[in-house]
């Protein structure tokens, strides 16, 4: 009831339909954005209702369940890419493509029932039927691209989208003339906790008391599951690398035993500067704060975090990434001096040649870190929220 004695009705909840998934690169930016939207709305006295449309066996289903988000399944099909046009009409592709009309019908039903204020599509095959249905139902559609080049799903939806959120200025020049006017650079949402690490907490949490703080620290990661290629390259140069730096090596649970064996053969002085671990959880932000140089893959999420933090890095793209997106990401940063990229058949010698100047010259890695930060958008989630709210209001 207000000061005039008139009962004030609560403001209607904002409804967001999210679609996208299959991988963490599509799923976690969506989760980060919707949590930022939730905080923004709560600050203004409104609530948020979210429905996530995805596949039953995708990462998005597990994430939604863990986060308490309502989830609905939609049929979709995976397009198996090939440079051979004949292989594009394989029985598997034809079978999966035939599922898309069913997915569109299911998505139309979801949109009619849920009546979202806006649909956010972050890529992955499941985004296509939902995005098409949003257009058919006249619902505002925002697509978000995490990589430098639009993925296949977002290319399919680009002409249907109300707005196209991209993560890099370089993406704008790659867009078709007919959709470029709808694009806005937001950046790729980064989990807030990644930006709040403290180097001293990493030392304490991981017991890195034998690290030589007068030397730089290298953080090596191949993602949550590790990367055999990166692990092998580091093992090849490990004695040399430890003579120059401290190393935190997140290798993936299935690779940990083998690397511990390699560590056991090191001289005690070098072994004291090496931590190998299968997985990092809550310690990750602090390890990133501790790291002077990062050796990693170049997925969109990793690149977003490294640039938001301003980290010098040596990037080793996953050669089998969809559309070769990791190589595009790595080359994009290398071209501006914001990272070094090892493309093609990377070798131990190539890794050593890339890392050595950064370890030997603090000014050089500092310059690379500054260039990396110039690409970073730590406020990407807030920018994307601004776009979602403006599109919903205009609609």
Q: Is residue 9 part of a domain?
A: no
The confidence score (pLDDT) of residue 82 equals 47
Number of domains in the chain: 2
Instruction: Confirm whether 382 is domain-assigned.
Output: yes
2 within a domain of the structure (yes/no)? no
The two structure tokens encoding residue 229: 């290629």
**HSE of 246, CA atoms in CB hemisphere, 13 A:** 20
Domain membership flag for residue 236 = yes
Is 178 contained in some domain?
yes
Cα(218)–Cα(198) distance, integer angstroms: 16
User: Do 317 and 335 sit in the same domain of this protein?
Assistant: yes
Shared domain for 204 and 320, answered yes or no, is yes
Shared-domain flag, residues 76 and 91: yes
pTM listed for this prediction: 0.87
Domain shared by 50 and 90, yes or no: yes
Per-run averaged pLDDT (10 residues), the chain, 395 residues: 52 92 90 97 96 94 96 79 51 60 93 97 94 96 94 93 95 93 96 95 96 96 86 95 97 90 91 94 96 96 96 91 82 96 92 97 98 96 97 85
DSSP alpha helix (H) spans, 322-379: 325-335, 348-360, 362-375
Based on the fold, state whether residues 29 and 175 are members of the same structural domain.
yes
Using CA atoms, how far residue 173 sits from 123, 176, 185, in Å, is 20, 8, 12
CATH code (residue 53): 3.40.50.2000
The parent domain of residue 320 ranges over 192-375
Instruction: Identify whether 1 is part of a domain.
Output: no
389, with CB counted inside 10 A (0-12, 13-18, 19+), is middle
- Let me know if 135 is exposed, middle or buried by CB neighbors in 10 A (0-12, 13-18, 19+): middle
Is there a domain that residue 179 lies in? yes
Same domain (yes/no): 167, 124 = yes
């Amino acid at each position: 009831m207000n000061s005039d004695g008139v009962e004030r009705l609560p403001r209607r909840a904002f409804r967001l339909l999210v679609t996208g998934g299959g991988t963490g690169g599509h799923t976690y930016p969506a989760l980060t954005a919707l949590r930022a939207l939730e905080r923004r709305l709560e600050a203004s006295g409104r609530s948020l209702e979210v429905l996530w449309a995805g596949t039953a066996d995708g990462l998005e289903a597990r994430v939604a369940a863990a986060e308490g988000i309502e989830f609905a399944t939609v049929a979709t099909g995976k397009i198996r890419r090939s440079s051979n046009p004949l292989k594009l009409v394989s029985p598997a592709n034809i079978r999966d493509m035939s599922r898309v009309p069913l997915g569109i019908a299911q998505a139309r039903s979801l949109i009619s029932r849920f009546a979202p204020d806006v649909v956010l599509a972050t890529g992955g095959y499941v985004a296509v039927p939902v995005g098409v249905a949003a257009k058919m139902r006249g619902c505002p559609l925002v697509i978000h691209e995490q990589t430098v080049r639009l993925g296949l799903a977002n290319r399919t939806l680009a002409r249907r989208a109300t707005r196209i959120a991209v993560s890099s200025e370089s993406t704008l020049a790659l867009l078709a003339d007919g959709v470029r006017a709808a694009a806005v650079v937001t950046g790729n949402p980064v989990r807030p906790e990644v930006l709040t690490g403290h180097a001293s907490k990493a030392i304490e949490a991981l017991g890195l008391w034998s690290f030589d703080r007068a030397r730089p620290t290298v953080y090596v990661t191949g993602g949550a599951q590790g990367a055999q290629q990166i692990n092998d390259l580091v093992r090849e140069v490990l004695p040399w690398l430890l003579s120059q730096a401290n190393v935190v090596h997140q290798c993936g649970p299935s690779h940990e035993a083998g690397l511990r064996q390699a560590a056991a053969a090191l001289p005690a002085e070098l072994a004291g500067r090496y931590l190998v671990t299968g997985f990092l959880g809550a310690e990750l932000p602090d390890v990133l704060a501790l790291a002077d140089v990062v050796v990693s893959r170049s997925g969109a999420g990793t690149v977003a975090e490294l640039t938001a933090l301003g980290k010098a890095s040596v990037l080793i793209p996953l050669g089998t990434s969809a559309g070769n997106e990791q190589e595009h990401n790595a080359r994009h940063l290398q071209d501006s001096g914001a990272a070094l990229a090892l493309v093609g058949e990377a070798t131990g010698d190539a890794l050593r040649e890339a890392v050595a100047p950064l370890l030997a010259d603090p000014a050089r890695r500092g310059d690379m870190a500054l260039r990396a930060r110039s690409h970073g958008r730590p406020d990407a989630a807030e920018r994307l929220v601004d776009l979602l709210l403006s599109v919903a209001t205009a609609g």
